[in-house]
Amino acid sequence: MENTTNLAGDPGILAAPQTEPDRQFYFMDLCRDLVSARAMELGRPLTASVQTFGCQMNARDSEKLLGILEQIGFVPREDEEADLVLYNTCTVRDNANQRVYGRLGYVHSLKKKNPEMLIALCGCMMQEETVIEKIQKSYRFVDIIFGTHNIYKLAELLYRRLTGSSMVVDVQKEATAVVETLPVDRKYPYKSGVNIMYGCDNFCSYCIVPYVRGREHSRRPEEIIEEIKRLVDDGVIEVMLLGQNVNSYGRKLEEPISFAELLRRVEAIDGLRRIRFMTSHPKDLSDELIAVMRDSKKICRHLHLPLQSGSSRLLKLMNRHYDKEQYLALVEKIRREIPDISLTTDIIVGFPGETEEDFEDTLDVVRRVRYDSAFTFLYSKRTGTPAAAMENQIPKEVAQARFDRLLALVSQISREMSARDTGRVMEALVEGIDTQHEGLVTGRLGNNIMVHFPGTGKLIGKIVPVRLLESKGFYYMGRMEEE
Ligand code: 5AD
Ligand code: SF4
Protein backbone atom coordinates (compact mmCIF):
# COMPACT_ATOMS: atom_id res chain seq x y z
CA MET A 1 0.00 0.00 0.00
CA GLU A 2 2.77 2.42 -0.89
CA ASN A 3 1.95 5.75 -2.45
CA THR A 4 4.83 6.63 -4.74
CA THR A 5 3.65 9.88 -6.33
CA ASN A 6 6.01 12.00 -4.23
CA LEU A 7 9.11 9.92 -4.73
CA ALA A 8 9.92 10.66 -8.34
CA GLY A 9 13.07 12.66 -8.81
CA ASP A 10 13.13 14.59 -5.52
CA PRO A 11 16.84 15.29 -4.95
CA GLY A 12 16.39 15.11 -1.17
CA ILE A 13 14.98 11.61 -1.40
CA LEU A 14 17.44 10.42 -4.05
CA ALA A 15 20.41 11.42 -1.89
CA ALA A 16 19.10 9.75 1.28
CA PRO A 17 21.25 7.09 3.00
CA GLN A 18 19.89 3.58 2.53
CA THR A 19 20.64 2.31 6.03
CA GLU A 20 18.80 3.01 9.28
CA PRO A 21 18.86 4.94 11.52
CA ASP A 22 21.08 7.24 9.37
CA ARG A 23 18.30 7.59 6.84
CA GLN A 24 15.85 8.91 9.43
CA PHE A 25 18.36 11.34 10.95
CA TYR A 26 18.95 12.62 7.43
CA PHE A 27 15.22 13.22 6.92
CA MET A 28 14.92 14.81 10.35
CA ASP A 29 17.55 17.36 9.25
CA LEU A 30 15.73 18.06 5.98
CA CYS A 31 12.40 18.47 7.79
CA ARG A 32 14.05 20.67 10.37
CA ASP A 33 15.12 23.11 7.65
CA LEU A 34 11.61 23.22 6.19
CA VAL A 35 9.97 23.64 9.60
CA SER A 36 12.34 26.39 10.69
CA ALA A 37 11.83 28.27 7.37
CA ARG A 38 8.07 28.13 7.93
CA ALA A 39 8.46 29.24 11.56
CA MET A 40 10.47 32.26 10.36
CA GLU A 41 7.70 33.17 7.91
CA LEU A 42 5.07 32.91 10.61
CA GLY A 43 7.20 34.56 13.29
CA ARG A 44 6.43 31.77 15.76
CA PRO A 45 7.49 28.17 16.32
CA LEU A 46 5.43 25.36 14.81
CA THR A 47 3.59 23.12 17.25
CA ALA A 48 2.76 19.41 17.21
CA SER A 49 0.25 17.34 19.16
CA VAL A 50 0.39 13.55 19.49
CA GLN A 51 -2.92 12.05 20.64
CA THR A 52 -2.80 8.47 21.91
CA PHE A 53 -5.59 5.90 21.89
CA GLY A 54 -5.35 2.42 23.37
CA CYS A 55 -2.76 0.55 25.38
CA GLN A 56 0.65 1.11 27.01
CA MET A 57 2.37 0.00 23.80
CA ASN A 58 0.78 2.88 21.95
CA ALA A 59 1.67 5.26 24.77
CA ARG A 60 5.30 4.20 24.39
CA ASP A 61 5.16 4.54 20.59
CA SER A 62 3.77 8.06 21.04
CA GLU A 63 6.80 9.03 23.12
CA LYS A 64 8.98 7.94 20.22
CA LEU A 65 6.85 9.84 17.69
CA LEU A 66 6.96 13.01 19.77
CA GLY A 67 10.73 12.59 20.15
CA ILE A 68 11.10 12.65 16.35
CA LEU A 69 8.79 15.65 15.97
CA GLU A 70 10.71 17.63 18.59
CA GLN A 71 13.97 16.77 16.87
CA ILE A 72 12.46 18.26 13.71
CA GLY A 73 11.72 21.48 15.59
CA PHE A 74 8.08 21.18 16.55
CA VAL A 75 7.12 22.40 20.01
CA PRO A 76 4.84 19.89 21.75
CA ARG A 77 1.31 20.91 22.60
CA GLU A 78 -1.40 19.01 24.51
CA ASP A 79 -4.49 20.10 22.63
CA GLU A 80 -5.16 19.74 18.92
CA GLU A 81 -4.87 23.42 17.95
CA ALA A 82 -1.44 22.63 16.58
CA ASP A 83 0.36 22.83 13.22
CA LEU A 84 0.67 19.06 13.13
CA VAL A 85 -1.75 16.66 14.80
CA LEU A 86 -0.91 12.96 14.90
CA TYR A 87 -3.44 10.38 16.07
CA ASN A 88 -1.88 7.13 17.26
CA THR A 89 -4.90 4.85 16.92
CA CYS A 90 -6.22 1.62 18.45
CA THR A 91 -8.58 -0.90 16.89
CA VAL A 92 -8.98 -3.55 19.58
CA ARG A 93 -12.67 -2.68 19.92
CA ASP A 94 -14.90 -0.82 17.51
CA ASN A 95 -15.57 2.07 19.88
CA ALA A 96 -11.85 2.94 19.68
CA ASN A 97 -12.26 3.31 15.90
CA GLN A 98 -15.42 5.39 16.27
CA ARG A 99 -13.66 7.79 18.61
CA VAL A 100 -10.96 8.39 16.00
CA TYR A 101 -13.52 9.19 13.31
CA GLY A 102 -15.20 11.58 15.76
CA ARG A 103 -11.91 13.35 16.45
CA LEU A 104 -11.15 13.57 12.73
CA GLY A 105 -14.38 15.52 12.29
CA TYR A 106 -13.23 17.94 14.98
CA VAL A 107 -9.71 18.34 13.64
CA HIS A 108 -11.10 18.94 10.15
CA SER A 109 -12.90 22.00 11.51
CA LEU A 110 -9.56 23.23 12.89
CA LYS A 111 -7.87 22.64 9.54
CA LYS A 112 -10.44 24.81 7.81
CA LYS A 113 -9.20 27.69 9.97
CA ASN A 114 -5.52 26.76 9.48
CA PRO A 115 -5.27 25.19 5.99
CA GLU A 116 -1.54 24.47 6.34
CA MET A 117 -2.18 22.27 9.34
CA LEU A 118 -0.94 18.69 8.88
CA ILE A 119 -3.01 15.74 10.04
CA ALA A 120 -1.37 12.34 10.42
CA LEU A 121 -2.73 8.94 11.43
CA CYS A 122 -0.80 5.90 12.59
CA GLY A 123 -1.15 2.84 14.78
CA CYS A 124 -3.22 -0.33 14.79
CA MET A 125 -6.32 0.98 13.04
CA MET A 126 -4.22 1.91 10.00
CA GLN A 127 -3.25 -1.73 9.49
CA GLU A 128 -6.82 -2.43 8.31
CA GLU A 129 -7.36 -2.02 4.59
CA THR A 130 -11.02 -1.04 4.99
CA VAL A 131 -9.99 1.84 7.24
CA ILE A 132 -7.47 3.15 4.72
CA GLU A 133 -10.07 2.96 1.95
CA LYS A 134 -12.58 4.86 4.06
CA ILE A 135 -10.08 7.61 4.91
CA GLN A 136 -8.91 7.94 1.30
CA LYS A 137 -12.52 8.29 0.22
CA SER A 138 -14.18 10.32 2.97
CA TYR A 139 -11.35 12.02 4.88
CA ARG A 140 -9.28 13.51 2.06
CA PHE A 141 -7.91 16.21 4.35
CA VAL A 142 -5.64 13.68 6.10
CA ASP A 143 -1.99 14.22 5.07
CA ILE A 144 -0.04 11.18 6.25
CA ILE A 145 -1.00 7.60 7.09
CA PHE A 146 1.36 4.94 8.39
CA GLY A 147 1.00 1.74 10.39
CA THR A 148 2.49 -0.08 13.35
CA HIS A 149 5.60 -1.44 11.63
CA ASN A 150 7.14 1.81 10.46
CA ILE A 151 6.63 4.44 13.13
CA TYR A 152 10.38 5.09 12.97
CA LYS A 153 9.83 6.47 9.43
CA LEU A 154 7.81 9.51 10.53
CA ALA A 155 10.48 12.03 9.45
CA GLU A 156 10.77 10.48 5.98
CA LEU A 157 7.01 10.45 5.48
CA LEU A 158 6.69 14.00 6.72
CA TYR A 159 9.39 15.10 4.29
CA ARG A 160 7.53 13.44 1.43
CA ARG A 161 4.33 15.22 2.42
CA LEU A 162 6.04 18.60 2.80
CA THR A 163 7.66 18.35 -0.62
CA GLY A 164 4.73 16.73 -2.42
CA SER A 165 1.09 17.47 -2.90
CA SER A 166 -0.94 14.38 -2.09
CA MET A 167 -1.74 12.18 0.88
CA VAL A 168 1.23 9.97 1.84
CA VAL A 169 0.25 6.41 2.71
CA ASP A 170 2.83 3.88 3.88
CA VAL A 171 1.50 0.80 5.64
CA GLN A 172 3.51 -2.43 5.79
CA LYS A 173 1.99 -5.82 6.42
CA GLU A 174 4.93 -7.09 8.47
CA ALA A 175 7.90 -5.56 10.25
CA THR A 176 10.94 -5.29 7.98
CA ALA A 177 13.15 -3.31 10.34
CA VAL A 178 13.02 -2.40 14.00
CA VAL A 179 14.77 0.91 14.57
CA GLU A 180 15.20 1.62 18.27
CA THR A 181 17.82 4.34 18.42
CA LEU A 182 15.79 7.41 17.50
CA PRO A 183 14.99 10.29 19.88
CA VAL A 184 12.27 9.69 22.50
CA ASP A 185 10.36 12.27 24.54
CA ARG A 186 9.39 10.49 27.75
CA LYS A 187 6.18 11.65 29.39
CA TYR A 188 7.52 11.02 32.90
CA PRO A 189 11.14 11.66 33.89
CA TYR A 190 11.10 8.93 36.57
CA LYS A 191 9.32 6.02 34.87
CA SER A 192 9.24 4.51 31.43
CA GLY A 193 7.78 1.72 29.35
CA VAL A 194 10.28 -0.59 27.65
CA ASN A 195 9.24 -2.79 24.74
CA ILE A 196 10.61 -6.27 25.23
CA MET A 197 8.69 -7.82 22.36
CA TYR A 198 6.39 -6.90 19.52
CA GLY A 199 3.37 -8.61 17.98
CA CYS A 200 1.35 -11.61 19.10
CA ASP A 201 1.09 -15.22 17.92
CA ASN A 202 -1.79 -16.34 20.10
CA PHE A 203 -4.73 -15.64 17.84
CA CYS A 204 -7.39 -15.54 20.52
CA SER A 205 -10.45 -15.90 18.33
CA TYR A 206 -11.98 -12.49 19.17
CA CYS A 207 -8.77 -10.47 18.88
CA ILE A 208 -7.50 -8.36 16.02
CA VAL A 209 -4.08 -7.67 17.56
CA PRO A 210 -2.18 -10.52 15.82
CA TYR A 211 -3.44 -9.18 12.47
CA VAL A 212 -2.49 -5.56 13.08
CA ARG A 213 0.67 -5.98 15.16
CA GLY A 214 2.06 -8.95 13.25
CA ARG A 215 4.03 -11.95 14.43
CA GLU A 216 5.61 -12.17 17.84
CA HIS A 217 9.21 -11.01 17.92
CA SER A 218 11.36 -10.62 21.05
CA ARG A 219 14.15 -8.08 21.41
CA ARG A 220 17.51 -9.47 22.47
CA PRO A 221 18.06 -9.31 26.26
CA GLU A 222 21.33 -7.35 25.89
CA GLU A 223 19.50 -4.64 23.96
CA ILE A 224 16.76 -4.40 26.59
CA ILE A 225 19.24 -4.23 29.46
CA GLU A 226 21.24 -1.55 27.64
CA GLU A 227 18.10 0.52 27.10
CA ILE A 228 17.09 0.22 30.77
CA LYS A 229 20.58 1.18 31.93
CA ARG A 230 20.42 4.26 29.73
CA LEU A 231 17.02 5.13 31.17
CA VAL A 232 18.30 4.71 34.73
CA ASP A 233 21.27 6.97 33.95
CA ASP A 234 18.69 9.47 32.80
CA GLY A 235 16.72 9.40 36.07
CA VAL A 236 14.25 6.54 35.59
CA ILE A 237 13.58 4.43 38.70
CA GLU A 238 10.58 2.39 37.50
CA VAL A 239 10.22 0.45 34.25
CA MET A 240 7.23 -1.32 32.76
CA LEU A 241 8.30 -4.17 30.48
CA LEU A 242 5.83 -4.27 27.62
CA GLY A 243 4.62 -7.11 25.41
CA GLN A 244 1.30 -8.66 24.37
CA ASN A 245 2.31 -11.87 26.11
CA VAL A 246 5.47 -11.32 28.14
CA ASN A 247 5.40 -14.90 29.43
CA SER A 248 6.42 -16.21 26.04
CA TYR A 249 9.32 -13.75 25.82
CA GLY A 250 12.57 -15.03 24.39
CA ARG A 251 11.50 -18.51 23.35
CA LYS A 252 12.18 -17.93 19.68
CA LEU A 253 15.45 -16.03 20.06
CA GLU A 254 18.59 -17.54 18.58
CA GLU A 255 19.79 -18.00 22.14
CA PRO A 256 16.49 -18.67 23.91
CA ILE A 257 15.92 -17.11 27.34
CA SER A 258 12.88 -17.15 29.61
CA PHE A 259 10.99 -14.08 30.78
CA ALA A 260 11.87 -15.01 34.36
CA GLU A 261 15.58 -14.95 33.45
CA LEU A 262 15.18 -11.57 31.77
CA LEU A 263 13.57 -10.28 34.98
CA ARG A 264 16.53 -11.54 37.00
CA ARG A 265 18.89 -9.59 34.76
CA VAL A 266 16.75 -6.45 34.94
CA GLU A 267 16.63 -6.76 38.72
CA ALA A 268 20.42 -6.62 38.82
CA ILE A 269 20.54 -3.12 37.33
CA ASP A 270 21.81 -0.69 39.95
CA GLY A 271 19.66 2.35 40.56
CA LEU A 272 16.50 0.76 39.21
CA ARG A 273 13.95 0.55 42.02
CA ARG A 274 10.74 -0.88 40.58
CA ILE A 275 9.88 -3.34 37.81
CA ARG A 276 6.43 -3.87 36.34
CA PHE A 277 5.34 -5.84 33.33
CA MET A 278 2.32 -6.26 31.11
CA THR A 279 0.59 -8.50 29.91
CA SER A 280 0.76 -12.08 31.21
CA HIS A 281 -1.07 -14.82 29.39
CA PRO A 282 -2.21 -17.43 31.96
CA LYS A 283 -1.30 -20.31 29.65
CA ASP A 284 2.41 -19.39 29.71
CA LEU A 285 2.88 -18.26 33.30
CA SER A 286 5.70 -20.43 34.67
CA ASP A 287 6.60 -21.56 38.18
CA GLU A 288 9.99 -20.00 37.53
CA LEU A 289 8.32 -16.59 37.05
CA ILE A 290 6.33 -16.95 40.28
CA ALA A 291 9.54 -17.82 42.15
CA VAL A 292 11.42 -14.86 40.66
CA MET A 293 8.60 -12.51 41.64
CA ARG A 294 8.43 -13.98 45.13
CA ASP A 295 12.15 -13.53 45.72
CA SER A 296 12.46 -10.14 44.08
CA LYS A 297 12.92 -6.85 45.90
CA LYS A 298 12.10 -4.77 42.85
CA ILE A 299 9.26 -6.49 41.00
CA CYS A 300 5.97 -4.92 42.04
CA ARG A 301 3.45 -7.15 43.77
CA HIS A 302 1.01 -6.85 40.90
CA LEU A 303 0.00 -9.26 38.19
CA HIS A 304 -2.37 -8.47 35.37
CA LEU A 305 -3.77 -11.85 34.38
CA PRO A 306 -6.51 -11.59 31.76
CA LEU A 307 -9.31 -14.10 32.36
CA GLN A 308 -11.51 -13.15 29.37
CA SER A 309 -14.19 -15.64 30.47
CA GLY A 310 -14.80 -18.00 33.36
CA SER A 311 -16.52 -20.58 31.15
CA SER A 312 -14.31 -23.47 30.03
CA ARG A 313 -16.56 -23.92 27.00
CA LEU A 314 -16.09 -20.30 25.90
CA LEU A 315 -12.38 -20.29 26.74
CA LYS A 316 -12.00 -23.12 24.25
CA LEU A 317 -13.90 -21.20 21.60
CA MET A 318 -11.78 -18.17 22.43
CA ASN A 319 -8.63 -20.26 21.80
CA ARG A 320 -7.19 -19.37 25.18
CA HIS A 321 -5.57 -22.75 25.96
CA TYR A 322 -6.67 -22.92 29.62
CA ASP A 323 -9.93 -23.75 31.34
CA LYS A 324 -11.70 -22.43 34.42
CA GLU A 325 -10.09 -24.95 36.78
CA GLN A 326 -6.59 -24.37 35.45
CA TYR A 327 -6.99 -20.62 35.83
CA LEU A 328 -8.25 -20.96 39.42
CA ALA A 329 -5.44 -23.39 40.26
CA LEU A 330 -2.90 -20.93 38.84
CA VAL A 331 -4.29 -18.11 40.98
CA GLU A 332 -4.14 -20.32 44.04
CA LYS A 333 -0.51 -21.18 43.33
CA ILE A 334 0.41 -17.51 42.87
CA ARG A 335 -1.35 -16.50 46.07
CA ARG A 336 0.32 -19.30 48.00
CA GLU A 337 3.79 -18.09 46.96
CA ILE A 338 3.09 -14.34 47.00
CA PRO A 339 0.25 -13.75 49.49
CA ASP A 340 0.23 -9.95 49.15
CA ILE A 341 -0.01 -10.00 45.33
CA SER A 342 -2.56 -7.72 43.74
CA LEU A 343 -4.39 -9.39 40.85
CA THR A 344 -6.12 -7.54 38.05
CA THR A 345 -7.75 -8.84 34.89
CA ASP A 346 -9.58 -8.29 31.61
CA ILE A 347 -13.00 -9.83 31.01
CA ILE A 348 -15.09 -9.91 27.86
CA VAL A 349 -18.89 -10.12 28.10
CA GLY A 350 -21.13 -11.24 25.25
CA PHE A 351 -18.74 -13.43 23.26
CA PRO A 352 -20.71 -15.28 20.53
CA GLY A 353 -22.84 -18.07 21.98
CA GLU A 354 -22.38 -16.95 25.60
CA THR A 355 -25.21 -18.50 27.65
CA GLU A 356 -26.45 -17.46 31.07
CA GLU A 357 -24.59 -20.47 32.44
CA ASP A 358 -21.32 -19.40 30.78
CA PHE A 359 -21.75 -15.94 32.23
CA GLU A 360 -22.44 -17.39 35.71
CA ASP A 361 -19.06 -19.14 35.43
CA THR A 362 -17.41 -15.77 34.84
CA LEU A 363 -19.14 -14.31 37.91
CA ASP A 364 -18.05 -17.38 39.86
CA VAL A 365 -14.38 -16.88 38.99
CA VAL A 366 -14.63 -13.19 39.87
CA ARG A 367 -16.13 -14.07 43.27
CA ARG A 368 -13.45 -16.67 43.95
CA VAL A 369 -10.38 -14.75 42.77
CA ARG A 370 -11.48 -11.39 44.18
CA TYR A 371 -9.58 -9.13 41.78
CA ASP A 372 -8.16 -5.84 42.98
CA SER A 373 -9.62 -4.42 39.80
CA ALA A 374 -10.89 -5.67 36.48
CA PHE A 375 -11.28 -4.11 33.05
CA THR A 376 -14.60 -5.29 31.66
CA PHE A 377 -15.39 -5.11 27.95
CA LEU A 378 -18.44 -5.71 25.83
CA TYR A 379 -17.47 -8.12 23.08
CA SER A 380 -16.80 -6.19 19.89
CA LYS A 381 -16.95 -7.94 16.54
CA ARG A 382 -13.67 -7.47 14.66
CA THR A 383 -13.83 -8.23 10.95
CA GLY A 384 -11.39 -10.94 9.91
CA THR A 385 -11.23 -12.69 13.31
CA PRO A 386 -12.70 -16.22 13.67
CA ALA A 387 -15.21 -15.05 16.29
CA ALA A 388 -16.71 -12.52 13.88
CA ALA A 389 -17.87 -15.41 11.68
CA MET A 390 -19.37 -17.38 14.56
CA GLU A 391 -23.09 -17.86 14.77
CA ASN A 392 -25.11 -16.79 17.82
CA GLN A 393 -23.80 -13.27 18.12
CA ILE A 394 -25.31 -12.02 21.38
CA PRO A 395 -27.98 -9.27 21.19
CA LYS A 396 -26.74 -5.95 22.49
CA GLU A 397 -29.34 -5.70 25.31
CA VAL A 398 -28.46 -9.16 26.67
CA ALA A 399 -24.75 -8.41 26.64
CA GLN A 400 -25.28 -4.98 28.21
CA ALA A 401 -27.41 -6.40 31.04
CA ARG A 402 -24.70 -8.97 31.83
CA PHE A 403 -22.03 -6.32 31.58
CA ASP A 404 -23.86 -4.20 34.16
CA ARG A 405 -24.16 -7.15 36.55
CA LEU A 406 -20.47 -7.98 36.16
CA LEU A 407 -19.40 -4.39 36.66
CA ALA A 408 -21.44 -4.13 39.88
CA LEU A 409 -19.77 -7.26 41.26
CA VAL A 410 -16.27 -6.26 40.16
CA SER A 411 -16.63 -2.78 41.70
CA GLN A 412 -17.94 -4.10 44.99
CA ILE A 413 -15.07 -6.58 45.34
CA SER A 414 -12.54 -4.06 44.15
CA ARG A 415 -13.69 -1.58 46.81
CA GLU A 416 -13.27 -4.23 49.51
CA MET A 417 -9.92 -5.40 48.19
CA SER A 418 -8.44 -1.94 47.84
CA ALA A 419 -9.18 -1.22 51.50
CA ARG A 420 -7.24 -4.22 52.76
CA ASP A 421 -3.98 -2.37 53.50
CA THR A 422 -5.57 0.44 55.54
CA GLY A 423 -3.34 1.32 58.49
CA ARG A 424 -0.17 -0.13 56.91
CA VAL A 425 2.89 1.78 55.79
CA MET A 426 3.75 1.17 52.13
CA GLU A 427 6.16 2.68 49.64
CA ALA A 428 4.71 5.08 47.11
CA LEU A 429 6.34 6.54 44.02
CA VAL A 430 5.22 10.17 43.92
CA GLU A 431 3.88 10.86 40.44
CA GLY A 432 2.59 14.41 40.69
CA ILE A 433 0.71 17.17 42.45
CA ASP A 434 -2.89 16.27 43.29
CA THR A 435 -4.88 18.48 40.94
CA GLN A 436 -8.09 18.08 42.97
CA HIS A 437 -6.79 18.96 46.43
CA GLU A 438 -4.38 21.73 47.26
CA GLY A 439 -1.30 20.78 49.27
CA LEU A 440 -1.48 17.08 48.35
CA VAL A 441 0.60 14.88 46.07
CA THR A 442 -0.33 11.60 44.39
CA GLY A 443 1.75 8.45 44.69
CA ARG A 444 1.48 4.95 43.25
CA LEU A 445 1.89 1.92 45.49
CA GLY A 446 3.61 -1.21 44.24
CA ASN A 447 0.20 -2.86 43.84
CA ASN A 448 -0.78 -0.06 41.46
CA ILE A 449 -3.22 1.66 43.84
CA MET A 450 -2.92 5.43 44.24
CA VAL A 451 -2.50 7.29 47.52
CA HIS A 452 -2.99 11.02 48.13
CA PHE A 453 -1.06 12.70 50.93
CA PRO A 454 0.30 16.08 52.02
CA GLY A 455 3.52 16.98 50.25
CA THR A 456 5.15 19.28 47.71
CA GLY A 457 6.32 19.01 44.12
CA LYS A 458 9.83 18.32 45.40
CA LEU A 459 8.75 14.75 46.12
CA ILE A 460 7.87 13.99 42.49
CA GLY A 461 9.86 11.02 41.21
CA LYS A 462 10.83 9.84 44.72
CA ILE A 463 9.79 6.68 46.52
CA VAL A 464 8.61 7.48 50.06
CA PRO A 465 6.95 5.52 52.89
CA VAL A 466 3.30 6.45 53.35
CA ARG A 467 0.85 5.36 56.04
CA LEU A 468 -2.47 4.48 54.45
CA LEU A 469 -4.98 6.19 56.71
CA GLU A 470 -8.28 5.80 54.90
CA SER A 471 -9.52 3.90 51.85
CA LYS A 472 -11.72 5.87 49.50
CA GLY A 473 -12.79 2.89 47.42
CA PHE A 474 -10.19 2.89 44.69
CA TYR A 475 -7.49 5.00 46.32
CA TYR A 476 -6.18 5.91 49.77
CA MET A 477 -5.67 9.06 51.74
CA GLY A 478 -2.37 8.86 53.64
CA ARG A 479 0.45 10.55 55.51
CA MET A 480 4.15 10.42 54.75
CA GLU A 481 6.21 8.66 57.43
CA GLU A 482 9.70 9.60 58.44
CA GLU A 483 12.22 7.60 56.41
N1 5AD B 1 -13.98 -7.34 22.05
C2 5AD B 1 -13.91 -6.96 23.36
N3 5AD B 1 -12.78 -6.94 24.04
C4 5AD B 1 -11.65 -7.31 23.42
N5 5AD B 1 -10.37 -7.39 23.85
C6 5AD B 1 -9.61 -7.82 22.83
N7 5AD B 1 -10.37 -8.02 21.73
C8 5AD B 1 -11.64 -7.72 22.08
C9 5AD B 1 -12.87 -7.74 21.38
N10 5AD B 1 -12.96 -8.12 20.10
C11 5AD B 1 -9.98 -7.10 25.21
C12 5AD B 1 -9.35 -8.33 25.90
C13 5AD B 1 -7.91 -7.95 26.00
C14 5AD B 1 -7.99 -6.45 26.14
C15 5AD B 1 -6.73 -5.73 25.84
O16 5AD B 1 -8.99 -6.10 25.22
O17 5AD B 1 -9.94 -8.45 27.17
O18 5AD B 1 -7.27 -8.56 27.11
FE1 SF4 C 1 -5.11 -10.53 21.56
FE2 SF4 C 1 -4.91 -12.92 22.77
FE3 SF4 C 1 -2.72 -11.77 21.66
FE4 SF4 C 1 -3.80 -10.74 23.89
S5 SF4 C 1 -2.88 -12.78 23.70
S6 SF4 C 1 -3.13 -9.58 22.05
S7 SF4 C 1 -6.00 -11.10 23.58
S8 SF4 C 1 -4.55 -12.48 20.57
- Residue 11 — very low, low, confident or very high, per pLDDT cuts 50/70/90? confident
For atom 6 of ligand 1, the residue with the nearest CA is: 207
Q: Does 259 sit in the ligand 1 pocket, CB within 6 Å?
A: no
Q: What pLDDT does 8 receive? A: 54
Task: Answer yes or no: is the C-beta of 71 below 6 A from any ligand 2 atom.
Answer: no
348 Cβ inside 6 Å of ligand 1: yes
Which residue stretches of 52-93 are H helix?
56-72
φ/ψ (deg, to 5) at 399: -60, -45
d(CA 51, CA 239): 22
Enumerate residues 6+ apart whose C-beta is below 8 A from 32: 71, 72, 73
Q: What is the pLDDT of residue 52?
A: 97
- For ligand 2, the distance from its centroid to the CA atom of residue 210, given in whole angstroms, is 7
Q: Could you tell me the CA-to-CA distances from 366 to 67, 358, 373 in Å, in that order?
A: 41, 13, 10
346 to each of 222, 233, 329, 394, how far by Cα in Å?
31, 34, 18, 19
Give SS3 for 198.
strand
- The better pLDDT of the pair 435, 221 is held by 221
Residue 106 CA, ligand 1 centroid: distance in Å:
27
**Tens-place pLDDT, residues 126-139:** 999 999 999 999 99
Atom of ligand 2 nearest to the CA of 319: 2
pLDDT at 7: 53
**Mean pLDDT across the stretch 33-39?**
97
Contact 162, 149 (CB under 8 A): no
Measure 206 CA to ligand 1 centroid, in angstroms: 7
pLDDT of residue 442: 97
The reply to whether ligand 1 has any atom less than 6 angstroms from the CB of 276 is no
Cα-Cα end-to-end distance for the chain: 58
DSSP per-residue string spanning 149-202:
S-GGGHHHHHHHHHHSSS-EEE--SS-S-----S----S-SSEEEEE-EE----
Q: Is the CB of 459 under 6 A from ligand 2?
A: no
Distance CA 41, CA 36 (A): 9
pLDDT score of 176 more than 80: no
Q: Provide the mean pLDDT of the chain.
A: 95
CA-based Rg of the chain, rounded to a whole angstrom? Answer: 24
Distance 226 CA to ligand 1 centre (A): 32
Rounded to an integer, what distance in angstroms lies between the CA atom of residue 467 and that of residue 480?
6
User: What would the 3-class secondary structure string for 349-413 be?
Assistant: ECCCCCCHHHHHHHHHHHHHHCCCEEEEEECCCCCCCHHHHCCCCCCHHHHHHHHHHHHHHHHHH
pLDDT in tens, 233-246: 999 999 999 999 99
Task: Give the count of beta carbons closer than 10 Å to the beta carbon of residue 470.
Answer: 12
Q: Is it the case that residue 483 has pLDDT exceeding 60?
A: yes
- The protein residue whose alpha carbon is closest to atom 5 in ligand 2 is 202
Name the residue type at position 152: Y
Q: Specify whether the CB–CB gap between 91 and 377 falls below 8 A.
A: no
| Rounded distance between C-alpha atoms, residue 158 and residue 65, angstroms | 12
- pLDDT confidence tier of residue 384, bands split at 50, 70 and 90: very high
The atom of ligand 1 lying closest to the CA of 55 is 15
Ligand nearest to the CA of 210: 2
Q: How far is the CA of 267 from the centre of ligand 1 (A)?
A: 31
Which atom of ligand 2 is closest in space to residue 346's alpha carbon?
7
Distance 279 CA to ligand 2 centre (A): 9
Q: How many CB atoms lie within 10 A of CB 189?
A: 12
Strands across the sheet containing 342-349: 302-304, 342-349, 373-378
Q: Counting ligands in written order, which one lies closest to the CA of residue 307? A: 1
Assess whether the C-beta atom of 377 lies below 6 angstroms from ligand 1: yes
Which residue out of 206, 209, 317 has the highest number of ligand 2 atoms within 8 Å of its CB and is therefore the one to mutate? 209
Q: Is the CB of 209 under 6 A from ligand 2?
A: yes
Share of the chain above pLDDT 70, in %: 98
Report phi then psi at 90, rounded to 5: -130, 150
Which strands sit side by side in the sheet containing 144-146, from one edge to the other? 75-76, 47-52, 84-89, 118-123, 144-146, 168-170
SS3 call for 49: strand
Give the number of whichever ligand sits closest to the CA of residue 351. Answer: 1
| Segment 92-120, tens digit of pLDDT | 999 999 999 999 999 999 999 999 999 99
Give the residue, out of 97, 125, 203, 206, with the most ligand 1 atoms within 8 A of its beta carbon, to mutate for a pocket test: 206
Which residues have CB under 8 Å from 371's CB, separation 6+? Answer: 343, 344, 345, 410, 413, 414, 417
Pairing of strands 450-454, 475-480: parallel
CA distance 432 to 442: 5
For ligand 1, the distance from its centroid to the CA atom of residue 93, given in whole angstroms, is: 7
Residue 182 confidence class, pLDDT cut points 50, 70, 90: confident
Integer Cα distance of 320 and 308 in angstroms:
9
Q: Is the pTM of this model over 0.85?
A: yes
